[in-house]
Amino acid sequence: QKEVEQNSGPLSVPEGAIASLNCTYSDRGSQSFFWYRQYSGKSPELIMSIYSNGDKEDGRFTAQLNKASQYVSLLIRDSQPSDSATYLCAVLLSGSARQLTFGSGTQLTVLP
Protein backbone atom coordinates (compact mmCIF):
# COMPACT_ATOMS: atom_id res chain seq x y z
CA GLN A 1 0.00 0.00 0.00
CA LYS A 2 1.32 3.41 -0.96
CA GLU A 3 1.69 5.93 1.84
CA VAL A 4 -0.23 8.60 -0.09
CA GLU A 5 -2.68 7.69 -2.82
CA GLN A 6 -4.47 9.82 -5.37
CA ASN A 7 -6.61 9.00 -8.36
CA SER A 8 -4.26 9.68 -11.24
CA GLY A 9 -7.09 10.78 -13.52
CA PRO A 10 -7.22 12.40 -15.90
CA LEU A 11 -10.16 14.31 -14.51
CA SER A 12 -12.11 16.54 -16.85
CA VAL A 13 -14.72 19.07 -15.76
CA PRO A 14 -16.52 21.79 -17.71
CA GLU A 15 -15.72 25.43 -17.04
CA GLY A 16 -17.67 26.74 -14.06
CA ALA A 17 -18.14 23.32 -12.46
CA ILE A 18 -16.72 22.05 -9.16
CA ALA A 19 -13.62 19.89 -9.43
CA SER A 20 -13.12 17.40 -6.60
CA LEU A 21 -9.70 15.89 -5.98
CA ASN A 22 -9.17 13.16 -3.42
CA CYS A 23 -6.25 11.80 -1.45
CA THR A 24 -5.89 9.06 1.18
CA TYR A 25 -2.91 8.41 3.42
CA SER A 26 -1.79 5.43 5.47
CA ASP A 27 0.03 7.03 8.43
CA ARG A 28 -2.65 7.66 11.05
CA GLY A 29 -0.31 9.95 13.00
CA SER A 30 0.16 12.45 10.15
CA GLN A 31 -0.63 16.02 11.13
CA SER A 32 0.14 18.25 8.15
CA PHE A 33 -1.34 18.07 4.68
CA PHE A 34 -0.68 20.11 1.57
CA TRP A 35 -2.03 20.54 -1.92
CA TYR A 36 0.35 21.66 -4.64
CA ARG A 37 -0.54 22.64 -8.20
CA GLN A 38 1.99 21.90 -10.92
CA TYR A 39 1.89 23.18 -14.46
CA SER A 40 3.96 21.26 -16.98
CA GLY A 41 7.66 22.03 -16.60
CA LYS A 42 7.08 24.30 -13.62
CA SER A 43 7.53 24.06 -9.89
CA PRO A 44 4.93 22.52 -7.58
CA GLU A 45 3.12 25.58 -6.23
CA LEU A 46 1.61 25.44 -2.76
CA ILE A 47 -2.09 26.29 -2.89
CA MET A 48 -3.47 24.93 0.38
CA SER A 49 -2.27 23.61 3.70
CA ILE A 50 -4.52 22.03 6.31
CA TYR A 51 -3.76 20.73 9.78
CA SER A 52 -7.12 20.27 11.55
CA ASN A 53 -10.22 18.24 10.80
CA GLY A 54 -12.85 20.07 8.81
CA ASP A 55 -12.85 22.52 5.95
CA LYS A 56 -10.46 25.32 5.10
CA GLU A 57 -11.44 27.79 2.42
CA ASP A 58 -9.26 30.15 0.40
CA GLY A 59 -10.96 31.85 -2.50
CA ARG A 60 -12.24 29.23 -4.91
CA PHE A 61 -10.31 26.46 -3.13
CA THR A 62 -11.55 24.39 -0.18
CA ALA A 63 -9.47 21.73 1.51
CA GLN A 64 -11.23 19.11 3.59
CA LEU A 65 -9.54 16.88 6.14
CA ASN A 66 -10.94 13.83 7.89
CA LYS A 67 -8.27 12.24 10.05
CA ALA A 68 -10.51 9.41 11.22
CA SER A 69 -10.96 8.30 7.61
CA GLN A 70 -7.39 9.32 6.67
CA TYR A 71 -8.73 11.35 3.81
CA VAL A 72 -7.98 14.81 2.47
CA SER A 73 -9.65 16.45 -0.49
CA LEU A 74 -9.47 19.63 -2.54
CA LEU A 75 -12.51 21.27 -4.07
CA ILE A 76 -12.14 23.89 -6.78
CA ARG A 77 -15.29 25.94 -7.31
CA ASP A 78 -16.08 27.77 -10.55
CA SER A 79 -13.30 25.90 -12.32
CA GLN A 80 -11.43 27.84 -14.98
CA PRO A 81 -9.32 26.60 -17.90
CA SER A 82 -6.32 28.11 -16.10
CA ASP A 83 -6.88 25.57 -13.31
CA SER A 84 -5.87 22.80 -15.71
CA ALA A 85 -2.75 21.29 -14.12
CA THR A 86 -1.57 18.36 -12.07
CA TYR A 87 -2.57 18.54 -8.41
CA LEU A 88 -0.27 16.89 -5.90
CA CYS A 89 -1.28 15.80 -2.44
CA ALA A 90 1.61 15.87 0.04
CA VAL A 91 1.69 14.66 3.63
CA LEU A 92 4.15 15.29 6.43
CA LEU A 93 4.26 11.87 8.08
CA SER A 94 4.44 11.43 11.84
CA GLY A 95 7.84 11.21 13.48
CA SER A 96 10.82 13.49 13.44
CA ALA A 97 11.46 13.49 9.70
CA ARG A 98 10.39 16.67 7.92
CA GLN A 99 10.19 15.21 4.45
CA LEU A 100 7.01 15.44 2.40
CA THR A 101 5.51 12.25 1.02
CA PHE A 102 3.70 12.84 -2.27
CA GLY A 103 0.92 11.13 -4.10
CA SER A 104 1.30 10.50 -7.80
CA GLY A 105 -0.84 13.52 -8.68
CA THR A 106 -4.19 14.01 -10.40
CA GLN A 107 -4.23 15.63 -13.82
CA LEU A 108 -7.14 18.05 -14.09
CA THR A 109 -8.45 19.47 -17.34
CA VAL A 110 -11.08 22.21 -17.30
CA LEU A 111 -12.88 22.33 -20.61
CA PRO A 112 -13.95 25.76 -21.95
Give yes or no for residue 88 binding another protein (CB under 8 A): yes
DSSP state of 67: T
Give yes or no for residue 104 binding another protein (CB under 8 A): yes
CB atoms within 10 A of CB 43: 9
With 0-12 / 13-18 / 19 or more C-beta atoms within 10 angstroms meaning exposed / middle / buried, residue 20 is: middle
Return the residue of 1, 28, 82, 97 that touches another protein, per CB under 8 A.
Answer: 97
In the window 9-68, what residues touch another protein (CB under 8 A)? 32, 34, 36, 41-46, 49
Q: Which residues bind another protein (CB under 8 A)?
A: 2, 4, 32, 34, 36, 41-46, 49, 88, 97-105
